Structure formats: C-alpha cells, structure tokens
Structure 1
C-alpha cells in the first residue's frame, strides 16, 4: 500500500533561534521510505538538512524515547540569490530505509537582506513509501542473512526504489488544480485495474484522458494564480471573472472527456462501447517516471527544481 504523506505547511522557526533545529515526523505505520521531497522557502533558506530514519524494536510501541535513528544523508540548498529570492527550491531525494519516524535536522540559514532574523522556513514536505508489517525472520533458515547492521547507503544500492507514480510527486500538486488532481488519481487507479482486467480499450481511453486532464489542470493552476493576484490587487471584478472562466473550463473539460462515464461510479458497464475523449492535437506531456538517482558517498541524491514563489 503506497503511503503519500504530503505535509503542506508554512513552518518558520523563531527569530534568532539556535541551530541546528529538529523536526520529527511520526508515520501512521512502520514504512519503507522511498522518496522524500522538501520545498524550501524563497528566502528563509537553510544551508543544509540532514535526514535520519527512526525505528523501534518489534512489539515496542513507537515513541520518541524508544526510537533509534540512523543517518541516511543530507542535502544542501543554494542561497537563491540568482532568482532574486523569488523562486522556491524543491529537492527530491531517493532513499531506501525502514522506520516509523523521519527526523529532519535543519542547519543555519543563508544570510540575505530579506531574512532579518536568521530564520529558516519550509513550505511543504512529501514522504512517499510503502506501509510494511514487522516480520521476524527465522534465524535457523539456511538462507537467512542478518543485515540488521547494514549500511543504509549500501541498502540503497541493493534495493533500488520501485516505480513511483508521477501523481505522487509534490510538483504535481503544486501546478495542478486540486479538483483535477484528485480526479486524475482516481482515473489512474482505474487504469491500473483495467490493465489487470485486460480491458484494453478502456485502459487506452483512460491514458488519453489523464494526459488531457493534466493539461487542463495546469491551465487551471495558472488561472488560480492570476485570480489570487487580482484579489491581492483588490481587483475583485477581475477575480470574479477569472473564477467563472475556471468553472466553465472545468465543467466543459469533464463533458468533452466523458469523465463521469470513465469513473464508472455505478460499476463497469456491460458490453458498452467506451467513448473516446474529445482531445486537441497538442503534443502529449511525457509523464513516464524518471530513473532513480543512485546514492552518493555522503550527500543524498537529489532532483532539484525551482518553483515560482507565488505558488502555494
């Protein structure tokens, strides 16, 4: 079962606080962590974040006191001077570790004219992995190999992160309309079911529809930013018009792409031809997953991208 812990937050530490500062996240279940994403503030930027995964012995109730942490690496952030402190840096980190706690150790901030009180801030944290049940291997089994003290970096080389859906990526939610993104996730699950059920025509239609909805969602995301800017400028007439345009685009897209039919809310139809969605001739966006970045000796492998500071 895929876990996707998306913490959308505006976390800022106190003025002139002492560093390093710790953040500990407790997961609902013991999990295999596969990917961690951090979206930093545009000018309250830590120089470095260290990552630790905490676990407890089988049969022990998870608690901060009983947890034992293993350091899995760190990432560094740029000072963001080149963007004029308007972009936010997104780090995507591939890991392979098991535990119930994730601890982030934030180091001292980059100094700039906007950060008057030497603070650091995070906008969002996304944790992706799999829920796992604790198991007790049989030590008498001749094939049993005790790897309890193995290096997590070596573990990362052995157990490459499996396929992670693009819809679980933090960047997907940042640039998509929230309602569209939820529908895309539902259609993606339908597509996976269609593959297992060998419903080839239905699966093909879902694939096309998801691609087209992604374009609509990105357009709605941009329109949402324009609407917010209009509100900030107290141009409420423009904001109202923009909202009407967004609602019309959303509803028309649902109609053209036959979204309600494809969701099959009343169950799969019997001997009913699948309607092809109405699409334009634009080139489809490639949503295939990128290969996982291998571990380095010390710093964690990361995928870095800059995002507009106006995004939520």
Structure 2
C-alpha cells in the first residue's frame, strides 16, 4: 500500500537563519521551508534519509516563490549490503533533472509544485536516501543574496517489508489517498489534516465491515472538514503575513478568529460523537 514516507534531512550544503532544512518536515499553511545561505556557492544539495529502505513511487516538491533554482536534480541512493546505513556509505543513482521556471510572471508570489513519478523500468528499487541537487538561482530583485529554497517535500511509496512481489507498474490512483497529496497538505490546517486522515482510516474499516450508514456519515464529515480545513489554512497564512508585517494586534485578532471558527466547525460536526461511541456497531450499522 502506498503511504507517505517520513524522512530526516541528514545533510545540507547550507541554510539561512530562520529557514533551516528541518523546516521541510513541517508541512502546512505556515510552512517556512528551507533557504540556502546568503551568497551560496552552487550547486547546493540536500540528502534525505528514510526510516528504513523503501520503494519510492512519487515525489512532490513545492518550490520557493522567489528563491528558485534553475535546475533540480533527483538522485536515489542505498548502501551496499552489510554496510551501515549512513549517507557516507550511500551509492547514488541519478533519477533525472527538473528544469524550473522563474515566477517573474506572477510577481514572485507563486510557488511551483513539481511531481515526479518513479518507475525504475517497472522494477522495485528499495532505497534509503534521496539527494536533491539545486543549481544556481534565477536572478531577481527580491533575491538579492542569490539564494535557492524549497517550501515542502512529500515522498510517497511503500516500505520494502510490505512488498513480497515485484511491482510491474505503479498505479497510484488505486491506492493513494488525495489527503496525502502535497497540494492538499500545504494549504490545509494541520490539525484538520490529522482529523481527516483518522476519519479516512475509520471509513475504510467501516466499508470492509459493510457499515454503510456509518460510512456515509464519515464521508460527509470528511467533505465538510476538507472545506473548513482549507478556510482555516487560508486564515493561518493571513495571520503569518500579519506577523511578517509586525502587525501583532492584527495577528492576535486573526488567531482568535481562527480558534472561534475551529470550535464552531468541530461542534457542528459533533466530532466527539463520531469518533467515540458512534463507532460502535449498535449505534452505526
């Protein structure tokens, strides 16, 4: 089954204060992402390590609005057998190169979302490391220090232990939840995302038990949360902009507005009921 693969950033050429590479682990409307240091020497690179060898099926990468690399290389790596899983021992294979576009036409406010499907000739290829190589930046007035950056990274695939047969082809549409997509995660309130994923798991279990009334209620709840989570995400980004402008009074008001709306949504949906006793067979056939 295709799932989101967790990762750690184990190597980084450079990073700007306040925009550390570790920020890439925090996906949501308020994600700051990573920026290379000022006056970086190119190319810059990031090495990501998965918790255990996994078959990477898809990578989703959200760029920075103004610190855009002209090209981005993706490399997959693994260590030889009987060797410590350490980046120093990894052997990398270049998967390909993405050519980016400057966001000049969008006044450097739009972020490019790149999605790469990994097929490997139809064969499974467990890897432990992913290396991203970023080449020199597009020059513009907003990027005075010639930096490159990424806002978020999402890795989708299957762990090696869950694959006992060869994969003839990757068909993500059959197994991938839309709520694991980076385009959803980065614009939706993080707490709501966790709720949706919990309800989606509950819904799949209910389907297998043929509890269709409960399934319908869960489906309706998820749809409402998707809409509300997007609205909360927008409000979170508005709050962040107020903070950047040092309008702390406005940010405080926006924070209160967010929490009031969140309480209203949760109350109207009666989440405590649907996640609690409502899951019992007797109350929800």
TM-score by length of structure 1 reads: 0.73
Cα deviations by residue, 1:7-56 (Å, 9 ceiling, x for unpaired) = 23632223333322221111110001111121211111101111111012
Give yes or no for the alignment of 1:160 onto 2:178.
no
What is the Cα deviation at residue 85 of structure 1? 0.8
| Cα pair distance change 1:205/1:59, threshold 3 Å | farther
What is the Cα deviation at residue 78 of structure 1? 0.4
Q: Distance in 2 between matches of 1:218 and 1:136?
A: 38
Q: Distance in 2 between matches of 1:236 and 1:64?
A: 43
Unpaired segments ≥5 residues, structure 2:
7-23, 27-31, 120-124
Give yes or no for the alignment of 1:218 onto 2:243.
no
More divergent stretch after superposition (2-11 vs 52-61) = 2-11
The count of corresponding residues between Structure 1 and Structure 2 is 255
Runs of 4+ in 1 over 6 A off after TM superposition: 134-137
Instruction: After TM superposition, list the pairs within 5 Å mapping 1:65-80 onto structure 2.
Output: 65-80=88-103
Larger radius of gyration: 1
Root mean square deviation, CA, Å: 2.6
Unpaired segments ≥5 residues, structure 1:
138-146, 148-154, 275-312
- Quote the residue 2:258 is aligned against: 246
Q: Distance in 1 between matches of 2:87 and 2:255?
A: 46
Instruction: After TM superposition, list the pairs within 5 Å mapping 1:34-73 onto structure 2.
Output: 34-73=57-96
| Cα pair distance change 1:262/1:35, threshold 3 Å | same
SS of structure 1 residue aligned to 2:66: coil
More helix by percentage: 2
- Work out whether residues 4 and 168 of structure 1, in 8 Å CA contact, stay in contact via their aligned partners in 2: no
TM-score by length of structure 2 reads: 0.80
Instruction: After TM superposition, list the pairs within 5 Å mapping 1:1-312 onto structure 2.
Output: 2-5=3-6, 7-8=25-26, 10-96=33-119, 97-133=125-161, 158-162=168-172, 163-233=175-245, 235-264=247-276, 268-273=279-284
